[in-house]
Every structure is written in C-alpha cells, then in structure tokens.
Amino acid sequence: MAKTPQAIRGTQDIFGADAEAFAFVVETFERVRKLYRFRRVEMPVFEKTEVFSRAIGETTDVVSKEMYSFDDRGGESLTLRPEFTAGIARAYLSNGWQQHAPVKLATHGPLFRYERPQKGRYRQFHQIDAEIIGAAEPQADVELLAMADQLLKELGIEGVTLHLNTLGDGDSREAWRAALVEHFRSVKDELSEDSQERLEKNPLRILDSKDPRDRKHVDHTLDIDRFLTDGAKRFFDEVTAGLDAAGVKWTRAPSLVRGLDYYRHTAFEFIPDEGSEAAGKLGSQSTILGGGRYDGLMESLGGALTPAVGWAAGIERLAMLVGERMPERLEAVVLVENDAGMAEAIELVSDLRRGGVIADLMATGSPKKRYDKAVKQNPQYILRVDDGGYHGISGEGDASKIVAVLSNRNPSPRT
RNA sequence: GCGAUCGUAGCUCAGUUGGUUAGAGCGCCGGUUUGUGGUACCGGAGGUCGCGGGUUCGAACCCCGUCGAUCGCCCCA
C-alpha cells in the first residue's frame, strides 16, 4: 500500500468539537463587526515579500526568521502572509480606498509563520482582524477596542483583561528608545544574553523580559510617560477617557511594547488574568487579541501619511476559551427499514430538509442494526419507511416543522 | 534555533527483571437474541510495536541515530 503523506508541521486538521468552536468564533465575529459597521474585505493569502519586510520591519522576528517566502516562476520573491495589516495597507493604497476614508474593515483567514508549534501556536494559524484606516482621532481607538471587548463578552470569555499602553508619537518613541538604549548599555554586561541582543535589535523589548537579571535594571523611571510629548499624552488621555465612557475595563501596562516597528500611540493586548481558568487553557501563550495604532505604516509602503488603528486575534486561542460547542441537534432521522422503500425515503428526507428540518437518512449497514444506529444519533424524531412507504413517527418535543412537511406531501401509498 | 517528554490496531491505551502466536475498550463488519428510543451475547476484519542500525540465544522493552508529535524557551495571535 502506498504511504500516506504527512501533514506539514504546525498545520492542523480541525474537526469535531474544535471545529464547532472555531466556527462559533468566526460567526460571532461576523455578527459583532456588523453591529459596528465594519465592512468585510477579502485579501490575498500571499504578497510580494517587500510588502511585509517594509511594513513590519526588517529587524523584527516575524520578518527576519518567521516568513514563508519563495520565488515564483518569474523569480519574484513572494511571501505567505504572516499578518493581515501590511496586506490591507497595501490594498488600501493600490485600490485608492482613500475615497472611502475613514473606512472600517474586517476580515479573517489563515496566516503563516515559520515557528516551532506548541499549544496555541501553529505555523498555519487563523485570525480575525479589524482595522480603522484614515482616522486620526482617539475615538477610533475607542470604537475599535469597544468592539473587541464586546466580541470577547459575546463569546462568553471571562477572566481576560485589556492591557493598555501608549508608545507615543514618533518623537516620543524616539526619545524613549534613545534613553532606554543609553540606560541598558551602561549595564550591558549584567543583562541576559537575550537582552544584550535586544539592545541592538529591539531595546523596548527588554522592558518586558522575564529574566530576573533584566528585571533588576527595569523600573518606572524608564516608562514612556516621562518622554511623552504633550500631544501624545493628550491623545492617550482621550483614549482612556473614551474607554471609561464606553464601559470598557482596562489596566495600564507601562511595559507593554508590541513587536512590530509600525506601532505608534495606542498599543494593547487582551491577556488572561493570572491564575484564571482562561490562563490555564492557553498554556504559555498569553495574548489572545492584540494591536494598536500604526500611523507610520502607509508611508513605509510609499503612501501618504495615513493614520490607522487595528487589532487581530487568534481564532484557535479564542476557540480554546469558548468551551464545548455542540453541533445543532439532529431533528429527524428517516429510517429505511426495507431497501424497497429507498426512493420514498430519499424523497422524504429531501422534503424535510427543504422544510427547514435538520434531517439525516439511515439506510446503510445491516437492516436490523439501522434502528440502533439511528438512536445513537440522538435525533428528536425517527420517521420509519418500509416497502410500503412512510408509516410512522416517534419522538418527543416540538414536531410542528415535521408535521408541516408531512401534511404538504402527497399522501404515501399506505394512507 | 535550543531544551524536556513521548511514538504499540482507525481512536484511547495495557503489555511484568528482555522470554511462546503482542492484548483490552471504543469504532467498523457479520450473526443470534430483542421487536421499535440508547438490549445482551457470539464471531470477524484490522498491527513492518514510527523508521534504520546495534547489543543479545532471544528486543515492543536495552543502546545509538533518524523522523514525527506534545509541551516549554525565544517570539507572537
């Protein structure tokens, strides 16, 4: 026998309860985004590599070691999308969506990052994504976060808190970064190996290092607050005031920095509370939804300065938190007691489905065992068909839909 | 890229200090019973014990390598 090829490492075949939970997340997202008038967009799964390398930043982990890149037959370097935002920004520029600005967009689908898989983390994973493009005012941040908050609530997810920070505007961030580099360089030898590396590549990250050697050198004098320009401070205050008005709970997280270069001002993550049930279900992964403002991104792709803010959430991680979802209950099984009645049974099950009844046909295997198999499906009703046609129903509960279908049918030969 | 743990039937798992022909439950197929809302019983198919090498009279079991999975580090959703 030929050998079955293996699935690619880090990909998943989702089925059963997990697939139901996955679908529930997507359906709930679709419902909620409509409440906020986010418009659905469909995006390519791959782009020219430069879309991501320029937008996300060459030195980020995502670009430097996690992209699935390949040359196509024309020799052009393409990359399977590792995130949504860069591709959406490219689409916004190449399609002239400025005409719709400010525009609220939502999408979902697969993303790809070359990483070692572990709990809640895959090479092909899935996100839901929401962006507001062309809106500079803090109210956009508030609306976006209110939607995220409502989504999590409607998914029934508890024990998760919005962690909020500001990275300031360009000037604030630059001053902050310079101060951090100066500070940490003076104690470089005492930092962890990882953080000595971060010092060159991404000094902001040292702030949220878990290594005690690094923690020793981190204190509140290094928070962004001291470096914020008046404008940046005012912006953040308006965001937090808006969240309070909208009834969205949040907590300040001064060491929260996002990994990608394009973030400005607001940065946030929804994180399970320590010791909560949600935290346990997620393993060592913590962030279930994250994002921020990226006013500088469009320029890196050659567009005009365009303020924008967005977030993405891992569908798999959300699905781990929503609990068991059962498929809709089977309402009717048409049981073929004798194969001579097969045509009649097929007609009956078709009529039931057209009448909005969730129905299945049980007509395979040993005729004597069909009844047991039907019962195992736990249907609300069983309709029996033999060589004389339909001849009986048993079950309990509301049968009005089934009765309506039966009374609209041509009388079976027996009646 | 690094580390830990683990690979036995379609699935979940037993398998004694290394010892005859590797087992169970579930699922699948067939039959007997029952005779119409989850019956009981009998039987059957299904395994290169992840793969390759080594030690041994003898390896699912010990050793080495390799592939894969899981969890963690890094980073992220």
Domains and CATH numbers, chain A: 17-169+229-321 (3.30.930.10), 332-408 (3.40.50.800)
- A13, exposed or middle or buried, with CB in 10 Å at 0-12, 13-18, 19+? exposed
Residues 6+ apart with CB under 8 A from A189: none
Q: What does the mean pLDDT of chain A come to?
A: 89
Say whether the CB atom of A382 is under 7 angstroms from strand B: yes
- Asked whether residue A297 carries a pLDDT value surpassing 60, the answer given is yes
Torsion (CA) A238, A240, A243, A249 in degrees, nearest 10: 180
pLDDT in tens, A35-46: 999 999 999 999
| Cα A271–Cα A325–Cα A403 angle in degrees, nearest 5 | 150
Residue with tokens 């959300």: A318
Among the listed ranges A87-91, A242-246, A320-324, A353-357, which one has the minimum average pLDDT value? A320-324
pLDDT band at A342 (very low <50, low <70, confident <90, very high): confident
Residues of chain A (175-214) having a beta carbon less than 7 angstroms from strand B: 194, 198, 205, 209-211
What is the spatial distance, in angstroms and rounded to an integer, between the CA atom of A250 and the C1' atom of B41?
63
Mean pLDDT throughout A218-226?
82
Q: Is the CB of A120 under 7 A from strand B?
A: yes
C1' (B53) to CA (A69) span, angstroms: 37
Measured between alpha carbons, how far is A170 from A182 in angstroms, rounded to an integer? 18
Please, which residues have CB within 8 angstroms of residue A99's CB and are 6 or more apart in sequence? none
Query: What ipTM does the predicted assembly reach?
Result: 0.84
- C-beta of residue A268 within 8 angstroms of C-beta of residue A252: no
pLDDT at A301 over 80: yes
Question: Mean of the pLDDT values across residues A267-286?
Answer: 90
pLDDT (0 to 100) of residue A414: 47
Measuring CA to CA, which residue among A383, A297, A287 is closest to residue A332?
A383
Instruction: Please give the helix or strand (H or E) that residue A310 lies within, else none.
Output: strand A308-314
DSSP per-residue string spanning A219-288: -GGGSGGGG--HHHHHHHHHHHHHHHHHT--EEE-TT---SSTT-EEEEEEEEEPTTSHHHHHTTT---S
A292 touches strand B (CB under 7 A): no
Beta carbons of A270 and A144 less than 8 angstroms apart: no
Tokens at A109, concatenated: 């689908």
| Å between CA of A283 and C1' of B59 | 38
A290 touches strand B (CB under 7 A): yes
Residue A2: predicted pLDDT: 61
Least confident of A41-45, A180-184, A194-198: A194-198
